Chains A and B, each alone.
Chain A
Amino acid sequence: GAVVSQHPSWVICKSGTSVKIECRSLDFQATTMFWYRQFPKQSLMLMATSNEGSKATYEQGVEKDKFLINHASLTLSTLTVTSAHPEDSSFYICSADPPPDAGQFYEQYFGPGTRLTVT
């Protein structure tokens, strides 16, 4: 099956610094990747859709300048939280669309998530 990895799994950073989270599709090429944010005991909130080679599409209310998304290759998308503050502390999950030859089922493959703590 398609595997998506994230790195790091847990990161602690100081307020005002930037942190980068990587999302990789390990055994398939992902033209589209997605970034979600999840607060404790809540559902996943889509932050942005990332298409390889083009600018990410952000959901309403998500600050583009704070959450920088880059999808420079078919296997890697990155989320950079700039000038992080304690309110940015959350669980960040990426996902990827399966390759076309996997079938037209439209489910997404999810990474294991990254816990960000800003102190």
Chain B
Amino acid sequence: AQTVTQSQPEMSVQEAETVTLSCTYDTSESDYYLFWYKQPPSRQMILVIRQEAYKQQNATENRFSVNFQKAAKSFSLKISDSQLGDAAMYFCAYRVQGAQKLVFGQGTRLTINP
């Protein structure tokens, strides 16, 4: 079974500092996609960043970057220069190429301390 594990239920960081959220996944597939979604208090799910498994280069979106380690099945999210608006639940998700289901991790609640 494909599973996604986020081992940090809660994290906190000082404003302007850097924080890394962990995610590991279990799969026997070779072609898949990985995502980080943000769910702020409004509860609207927002795509933060995505990574295609066939790409070795780590994805980057402004202050957000990932460390994708395919062999280790690890997909961590680094947030640089943390801002108050980054406070949210963050979900790691996985989807096999060609499959319909998106598999979510348990989530990490991120608090930004001013």
Residue ranges of A at the interface with B (Cβ–Cβ < 8 Å): 32, 34, 38, 41-44, 46, 49, 91, 93, 95, 97, 104-108, 110, 112-113
Contact = CB atoms under 8 A, between A and B. Distances in A.
7 closest cross-chain pairs (CB), A and B: A110-B45, A106-B33, A43-B104, A106-B95, A112-B44, A113-B43, A43-B107
- Looking at A49, A95, A105, A107, which has the most chain B CB atoms within 10 Å of its CB? A107
Contacts of B106: 42-43
Contacts of B95: 106-107
Interface of B: 33, 35, 37, 42-47, 50, 52, 91, 95, 97, 100-102, 104-107, 109
A108 B105 CA distance: 15
B99 to A, nearest CB: 8
Contacts of B43: 38, 91, 93, 112-113
A107 B35 contact: yes
B101 A106 contact: no
Given A93-B45, A107-B33, A110-B45, A43 B105 contact: yes
Contacts of B42: 112
23 contacts: A34-B102, A38-B43, A41-B109, A43-B107, A44-B45, A44-B104, A49-B101, A91-B43, A95-B45, A95-B102, A105-B33, A105-B50, A106-B95, A106-B97, A107-B33, A107-B50, A110-B37, A110-B44, A110-B45, A110-B46, A112-B42, A112-B43, A113-B44
Contacts of B44: 110, 112-113
Contact of B100 (A32, A42, A107): A32
Contacts of A46: 101-102
Contacts of A106: 33, 95, 97
Nearest to A113: B43
Nearest to A57: B100
